[in-house]
Structure formats: C-alpha cells, structure tokens
Amino acid sequence: MMYEVKATPSRRTYLVGAIYGLTSLIAAALGVPALIYLFHPRRETVSTGWVDAGDLVQIRPESPREVTFRSNRVDGWKIRSEKGSAWVVKNDDGTITAFSPWCTHLGCAYHWEVARRAFACPCHGSWFSITGKVITGPASRPLDRYETRLEGTRIWIKPVRQARGI
C-alpha cells in the first residue's frame, strides 16, 4: 500500500496498527456476544412431561395404533398446548413401544400399512418394520422412540423431540 508520508515510518506503523487493533477488538466484543445470542441454546423454563396417551386395551398386538394427546410445549416466549401423536405398539412380552410420528428421513408423517405389516412413509418411500427398523428406503436410522411407562393399563409417554432435528 502506498501511504502518504508525513509521520515517521515507525510512528505511522504504530498508528495504523492501533487503528486495526482497536477496530478488531470492537468487532470481536460485538461479534462474540451476537453469535452466542443467536446460537447458544435457550434456557427452557418448562419442559414437556409425561402425558396420558390412552389405554392399553385399545391396542391389539401386532397392530400399531396412532394415539393422540395434548401436551404443553415451550415455544419461545409462549407455552403452547398442542396436539401430538405417537404410534404405539404392544409388544409380545406385554411392554409397549411408542414411536415419534415422523419419518427419520426428512420428517414426513408415516403410517401403518396393514397389508404389508410395516410402516410406510409416502414421501420418499421409506419402510420400517414393527420394531422401527429400516426395511428399505432412504431413511438411514430406525424410527425415534418416546419414553413410555404403564400405570395399570394407562399408557404414559414422554413426547420429547429428538435432538437430531426431525
């Protein structure tokens, strides 16, 4: 760079260095909090707890059933009460499994194909077995599961979204 010469070269270097140095400090002191502000995860005040998702007697073995429930979700500055769903399977040993209702490929809603005894996602043709394993298709991991517990014959599930995004 050709600079105007008046000040001695060393003084000039000092001035230019100070200009760049101080400007960078300001940029960093503004930029770092801004990045934290935008990207650091929010502190959640209320978390979704267990919800009552129906009765075990409604579910036959080998026949997954979509149950719906209401749950509270913290959405920014609001707490929303919203409808949710899960596919519940009654296992042979009497336990239950609840799958989150979204295909693990790109988040479409899948359904149970009675004829083929498998979960089918119509979006991009992923198929999952009754245990949630990928049979075929672009999905690369099994269906996501919700925590479940039984109180008598009442089904309780904890509909927490997976951190993976879908």
Partner 1 sequence: MKGVARRAADWIEQRTGFETFIRSFLFEDIPASTGWPHVFGSIAIFLFLTQAFSGILLAFNFAPTPGEAYNSLTYIMRSVTAGRMIRGLHHWGATMMIVVVAIHMVQVFLYGAYKKPRETTWVVGVTLFLITLAFGLTGYLLPWDNKAYWGTSVTATIASQAPFIGGYLRRLMGAEDGVGVVTFARFYDLHTLILPGLMALLVVVHIYLVRRHGIAPAPSDEHPSVKFFPRQVFRDTVAIFITFVILFLASLLIGVPLERLADPTDTTYIPRPDWYFLFLFQALKFFRGPLEPIGSVVLPTAFIAVLFAVPFLDRSRVRRLRQRTAAIAITILAIAGWGALTMAAIITTPSANTDGLTSKGDSESWASFSPEELAGVGYFRQEHCESCHNLIDGDPKVGPNLASLPVRRSAEWMIEHFKNPSQLIPGSNMPPIHLPDAGLNALSAFLLKLTPENAARLMSAPSNASDGAETFVTSGCGGCHKVNGTGGDMGPPLNGISSRRSKEWIARHFDDPQKLSPGSIMPPYRFAPSDQSALISYLFSLPAH
Which residue ranges make up the site for partner 1 (CB under 8 A)? 3-4, 6-7, 12, 15-16, 18-19, 22-23, 25-26, 29-30, 33-34, 36-38, 40-46, 76-79
> Which amino acid, residue 99?
F
Q: Smallest gap, in angstroms, from Cβ of residue 152 to partner 1?
A: 23
Q: Smallest gap, in angstroms, from Cβ of residue 18 to partner 1?
A: 6
CA atoms of 158 and 162, how far apart (whole Å) = 11
Nearer to partner 1, 11 or 154 (CB): 11
Nearer to partner 1, 5 or 57 (CB): 5
Q: Smallest gap, in angstroms, from Cβ of residue 37 to partner 1?
A: 4
Nearer to partner 1, 43 or 60 (CB): 43
Q: Smallest gap, in angstroms, from Cβ of residue 48 to partner 1?
A: 14
CA atoms of 97 and 88, how far apart (whole Å) = 6
CA atoms within 13 A on the CB side of 56: 16
Q: List alpha helices for the chain, DSSP H.
A: 9-39
Nearer to partner 1, 18 or 109 (CB): 18
Exposure string of 102-128, with b = 16+ CB inside 10 Å and e = fewer, is bbbbeeeebebeeeeebbbbeeeebbb
